[in-house]
Chains A and B, each alone.
Chain A
Amino acid sequence: MTLHLDDHDRALLAGEHGPAARMAMSILVRMAEVQDAPAMLDITQAHIDSAIYMGAAGLEFAERLASLGGRVAVPSTLNVSGLDEHHWQEWPVPEEWARNAHRQMIAYQSMGCVPTWTCAPYQSALAPKFGQQIAWGESNAIVFANSVLGARTERYPDLLDICAALTGRVPALGLHLTENRAGQLLVRLGGLPERVQALESFCPVLGHWLGRNCGERIPVIEGLVITPTEDQLKALGAAASSSGAVALFHIVGVTPEAKTLEAAFQGRAPEATMALSLADLCRARDELTTAEGSTLDMVVLGSPHFSLAEFARLTPLLRGLRRQPEVSFLVTTSRGVRDLAGSAGHLAVLEEFGGRVTVDTCILATPMLPPSVKTIMTNSAKYAYYTPGLLGAQVAFGSLEDCVRSAVSGRIVRDDSGWRA
């Protein structure tokens, strides 16, 4: 297929909008050609994951674009960075890392990106609306925007998200187009009793299973009897886009493009149908725990970034209690949500419990944890999925209640009763 470029695209490629936009457009056009896109289309906003410091090459790329005078062409928010800008000194973050990560933050801000520094940009006032064409990075944000908000984004990898932001253009393909948003796999939950679906860990475990079994195909979930909260949908998507490449899911009767089963499949037949059993789900849940004993060093909550509603659930669990001194307790969130949580009184309770907050980043994106942390407990399937590889630590996955009880008792305790047949 021949790629059609319009006058604006050609002007961008010719450098009429500056050398940074030219480099960005050149990368976008090469990608469009490889992916057989017929044309480019306009986006209305971008979410930039590329500001996470990974190493010298990513920093060089950012500073190259910034030094070429790059300015974003559409409103662009920033994902987590490699540094809690104002609190990194409270943790054993190496100074050289901090210096480089900060340079990368500055480079993206200098291109006009909004310093939201969060992996949950849908929790802010800048969240896109139904049908909006956007270019988002960060896998959990992508799947949330597509599935829950009904906005339209491809899975934009690091480096390409900023190219889209600098030009306001993306290849017209994939999930930007209605016909590619139809469900492909039917996932039946009919065999799972409501008491199981109502468990706090149900949504992240279901997400982990979806990622494992759907790859990058679009699942349609039928038979969900609970009414999921925004945070449950967030947890489901984050898990599915960690263990797999799910960028869009539909839940019949819940998500906006799945008012009916027929609507979710756009009238087509499913490629395959899978019925999920409690045994399948229990196996998926077990996969998220690698820790073998009950020794615990740290509880970490907030991947994706903790929401105000999650703080409101956590506070009554913490009130009047205190963690064991040898188990640290951390919540990762955004500056915006931290400020709201402070105003609502949640941070005072967290502090009395002995907990701390990290903003701008998370334990996976910045080297903040001391090497003495060997075992981590979390209620996040995404943290659980990545902790062994990225941090070299063992992980235990449990509910929010399990996490608090474990911090209080000083060892891993999990209530498995709800998961029994």
Chain B
Amino acid sequence: MRGRVLVAGEASGTVLVSPEPLSFWGGYDYKTGEIIDRRHPLSGQKAAGCVLALPLTRGSSTTTAVLLESVKAGTAPAAILSPRVDSFLVLASVVADEMYGRPIPILALSEADFAALRTGQRVEVRRDGEVSFEGAIGPELSGGPR
């Protein structure tokens, strides 16, 4: 599949699909890369290094600050795939690029492509927005990747 490139970059990792929106503030511990919103279905999962499939962010305008911290701390998702342009996520990545030259690749996918993503798939994200799947679909994860 191919998405619209919001922030260009290359990444590979295991897909982690969030069935619900997520606020990174109060929802993501940048020291560990763990999702900590106890009301969220992914609570307790680690998103660090994953290709995070996220419907959109929720609520707090502090989401970008937390995501930027995660880039500096090395706990950011490897890439983010979203069915829309989420400016909070894009901004964190743009500032990470300006500050550290380390943007998080972010793609906007069609609703159909987004809906086809499954937790545990191994994917590669390319600069031109191509998302390729490596091998067979993996099993559902219980304790996060790796």
Contacts and interface: CB of A to CB of B under 8 A. Distances in A.
Given A31-B91, A54-B66, A157-B91, A245 B59 contact: yes
B129 to A, nearest CB: 13
Interface in A93-147: 137-139, 142
Of listed A61, A290, A364, A389, residue having the most chain B CB within 10 A: A389
B59 A241 contact: yes
Contacts of B123: none
B59 A243 contact: yes
Nearest to B64: A157
A156 B58 CA distance: 13
B59 A56 contact: no
Contacts of B61: 49, 137-139, 142, 155-158, 161
A50 B95 CA distance: 13
B21 A34 contact: no
A57 interface: yes
Interface stretch (A22-30, A254-262, A332-340, A397-405): A22-30
A157 B59 CA distance: 10
A389 to B, nearest CB: 4
Nearest to A49: B61
Interface residues of B, number: 38
Contacts of A30: 94
A56 B87 contact: no
B21 to A, nearest CB: 7
A30 B69 CA distance: 20
A61 B95 contact: yes
B88 interface: yes
A23 B99 CA distance: 10
B117 interface: no
Contacts of B130: none
For the residues of A in contact with B, the DSSP-based class is helix
B87 A157 contact: yes
A138 B59 CA distance: 9
A34 B90 contact: yes
B72 interface: yes
Contacts of B27: 389
Contact of A245 (B56, B68, B91, B92): B56
A240 to B, nearest CB: 9
Given A52-B62, A388-B39, A215 B56 contact: yes
B71 interface: yes
Nearest to A160: B91
Most buried by B among A50, A54, A61: A54
Interface string A361-403: 0001000000000000000000001101110000000000000
Contacts of B132: none
B95 A159 contact: yes
Contacts of A31: 87, 90-91, 94
A216 interface: yes
Given A60-B99, A243-B59, A158 B85 contact: no
B63 interface: yes
A81 interface: no
Given A58-B65, A389-B36, A159 B92 contact: yes
Contact of A159 (B7, B23, B68): B68
Given A31-B87, A34-B90, A157-B91, A57 B99 contact: yes
A270 interface: no
A64 interface: yes
B69 A34 contact: no
Contacts of B7: 34
Nearest to B5: A34
A183 interface: no
Given A35-B85, A54-B69, A160 B64 contact: yes
Interface in A287-314: 287, 290
Interface of A: 23, 26-27, 30-31, 34-35, 49-50, 52, 54-58, 60-61, 64, 137-139, 142, 155-161, 211, 215-216, 241-245, 287, 290, 364, 385-386, 388-390
Given A49-B62, A52-B62, 4 more contacts: A27-B91, A27-B98, A242-B23, A243-B58
Interface of B: 6-7, 21, 23, 25-27, 30, 36-39, 56-66, 68-69, 71-73, 85, 87-88, 90-92, 94-95, 98-99
Across the A-B interface, the 6 shortest Cβ-Cβ residue pairs: A57-B72, A158-B65, A157-B64, A55-B69, A389-B26, A386-B26
